[in-house]
């Protein structure tokens, strides 16, 4: 089984590689891409893989745009932190839709579905796959029910492990490809999750992802100002040496989240 991974977070790619190797000995990762443009180029220049593991939110937009530029016949497993994309995902060549962080058992079940489909299932007209819409809607209903968010993160400090309550966290950020967070009392910790995984586990009423590298609590924002190209620049508490910019596509949602 030849697989293309479409994912723009390096840690997420590494985790997918490890998980795939642990559940499917015949899997071969033939490529990894991190953007719409890179994926389109790869698909045009290489033999089509049997399966594509595809994140929906990429660095240059939503991966659905790929299907507008390339006639993709491979089976697709979508991975994302955002459950509202599910119905749209199943309008293309999707065999499953997995919410991040991707669980080993869920990925194994998706691979098993792929094997059943390729063993003799008849594809639907227009290239779509056989999909259990009733099961999909039940899953969506489950996802939209009130949920519990992660109350704490376990971090390593020297030779010890320390639980840090989520309520103490001011913001998460990427520091030289390492995912970290700062607490409100200005302590910095490294955390073993991707930004997508963190975003999926914390309360969106309290935290907002302003770009690929920052997830902020509302309490951490001390000032915000207009910036170039219709963006915003923020000042955080506790302070950070990095420039903190709200990406242009996030500005409207961010202002609404802040209470505009």
Claim to verify: residue 133 and residue 209 sit in the same structural domain: no
Of 90, 118, 143, the domain-final residue: 143
The pLDDT tens digits for 102-148 are: 889 989 988 988 888 777 544 433 444 444 444 544 554 455 455 67
Q: 132 and 12, same structural domain?
A: yes
Residue that terminates a domain, selected from 89, 108, 143 = 143
pLDDT at 90: 57
Report whether pLDDT(87) > 70: no
Let me know whether 117 and 53 are in one domain.
yes
pLDDT at position 146: 54
Q: Virtual CA dihedral for 181, 85, 9, 147, nearest 10 degrees? A: 30
List the CATH number of the domain containing 103: 3.40.50.2300
The more confident residue out of 41 and 57 is 41
Same domain, 160 and 119: no
- Give the count of domains, the chain: 2
| Residue 123 structural domain | 2-143
pLDDT digits (tens, 9 = 90+) for 194-219: 999 999 899 998 999 999 999 999 99
Ramachandran angles phi, psi of 8, nearest 5°:
-100, 5
Contact in structure between 221 and 246 (CB atoms under 8 Å):
no
Query: What distances in angstroms separate CA 5 from CA 29, 34, 63, 208, one per listed residue?
Result: 7, 8, 12, 27
pLDDT confidence tier of residue 166, bands split at 50, 70 and 90: very high
């Amino acid at each position: 089984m030849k697989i293309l991974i479409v994912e723009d977070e390096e840690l997420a790619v590494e985790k997918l590689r490890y998980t795939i190797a642990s559940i499917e000995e015949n899997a071969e990762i033939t490529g990894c891409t991190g953007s719409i443009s890179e994926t389109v180029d790869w698909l045009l220049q290489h033999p089509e893989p049997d399966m594509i593991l595809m994140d929906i939110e990429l660095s240059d937009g939503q991966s659905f745009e790929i299907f507008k530029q390339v006639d993709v016949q491979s089976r697709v497993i979508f991975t994302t932190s955002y459950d509202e994309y599910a119905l749209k995902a199943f309008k293309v060549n999707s065999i499953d839709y997995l919410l991040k962080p991707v669980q080993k058992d869920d990925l194994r079940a998706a691979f098993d579905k792929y094997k059943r489909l390729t063993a003799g299932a008849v594809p639907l007209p227009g290239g779509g796959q056989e999909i259990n819409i009733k099961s999909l809607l039940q899953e969506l209903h489950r996802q939209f029910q009130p949920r519990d968010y992660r109350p704490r993160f376990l971090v390593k400090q020297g030779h010890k492990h320390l639980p840090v309550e989520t309520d103490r966290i001011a913001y998460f950020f990427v520091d030289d490809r390492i995912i970290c967070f700062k607490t409100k009392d200005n302590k910095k910790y490294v955390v073993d999750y991707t930004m997508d995984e963190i975003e999926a586990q914390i309360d969106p009423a309290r935290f907002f992802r302003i770009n690929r590298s920052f997830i902020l609590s509302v309490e951490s924002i001390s000032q915000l100002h207009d910036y170039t190209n219709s963006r915003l620049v923020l000042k955080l508490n506790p302070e950070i040496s990095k420039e903190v910019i709200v990406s242009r596509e996030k500005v409207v949602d961010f202002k609404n989240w802040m209470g505009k």
